[in-house]
Amino acid sequence: MTTEQKQDPEFIQFRYPREVTYHHALGYQSKFANGLKQGRILATKCPVDGRCTIPPRIVCPMHHVRQTEWVDQGQRGRLISAFKINFPMFNSRTGELQTWENPIIAVELEGGARMDGWCMETDPSKLKTGMLLEAVWRPEEERQGRADDIMYWKPIEE
């Protein structure tokens, strides 16, 4: 059916490539970005239940109270979940299709906050929920304050 439609000269389709550049302000979360440049992972802490959250927020999403305290989350955490992409997918920063060797993981940091990252171990069968991981940073001069200033999370023997 699809092929027939494509060959049918009665119906015509036009292609419109578009390129748009956005400039998004980081606001209160800028403190998190500046922390990354210094090799620190900072999260906001809820004064009601003490829970630390990344992305940081001015107010706690559950208790809706102001969060003024920032807590350094340390350099280590435990694996919550992981998956590996087995097919080429678009890099949203470059718009190019590329392959992805490293699993994407969720980590619960020593300070209690959770964040996503890349795992240095490329074999997903070697990843176990709860395993200890340590942040591997880009050299300081290359850091931009983005979450991927942490290049990988590296499994640590206990």
Partner 1 sequence: MAERIAIVGVGQTHHKSKRLDVTTAEMCAEAVERCLEDAQMTMKDIDNIVMGSFEVADGYYSPDKWIIPELGAVGKSGLEMQNVGTTGGVVAATGFNIAATGLFDAVLCLAWQKMDEAAGAFGRGGGGTNEYWTGQFPMSPITNFARRAYAYMDRSGCTEEHFAMVRVKQDQCAMKNEYAQLRLGLTLEKVMNDALLAWPIRRLHMCPTTAGAAACIVCPEGKAKKVTNKPVWVEDWYTCHQGGSLTMAEDPTSSTLAYASNLVYKRNGITNPPKDIQAWEVYEPASPAELRWIEEVGICEDYTAWKLFEQNKVGIDKEIPFNPSGGVTATNPIGATPVVRLVEAALQVRGDAGEHQIPGTINRAMATGYGGQGENVIMLLRKTL
Compare residues 11 and 68 and give the one whose CB is closer to partner 1.
11
For residue 131, state whether it binds partner 1 (rule: CB under 8 A): no
Residue ranges in 10-69 that form contacts with partner 1 under rule CB under 8 A: 10-13, 16, 18, 22, 24, 26, 29, 53-55, 61-62
**What three-state secondary structure class fits 124?**
helix
**What three-state secondary structure class fits 101?**
coil
Degrees, nearest 5: CA angle 33-137-53: 45
Q: Binder to partner 1 among 1, 123, 142, 158 (CB under 8 A)?
A: 1
Are residues 75 and 111 in contact, defined by beta-carbon separation less than 8 angstroms? no
Are residues 154 and 134 in contact, defined by beta-carbon separation less than 8 angstroms? yes
The rounded distance, in Å, linking the Cα atoms of 118 and 120 is 7
Stretch that binds partner 1, among 34-42, 66-74, 91-99, 133-141 (CB under 8 A): 91-99
Q: Shortest distance, CB of residue 51 to partner 1, whole angstroms?
A: 10
Cβ burial, residue 42 (10 Å; 0-12/13-18/19+): buried
For residue 104, state whether it binds partner 1 (rule: CB under 8 A): yes
Q: Shortest distance, CB of residue 56 to partner 1, whole angstroms?
A: 11
DSSP state for residue 125 in the 8-state scheme: G
Report the interface residues with partner 1, using CB under 8 A. Answer: 1-2, 5-6, 8, 10-13, 16, 18, 22, 24, 26, 29, 53-55, 61-62, 80-87, 89-93, 95, 100, 104, 106, 114-116, 124, 129, 146-148
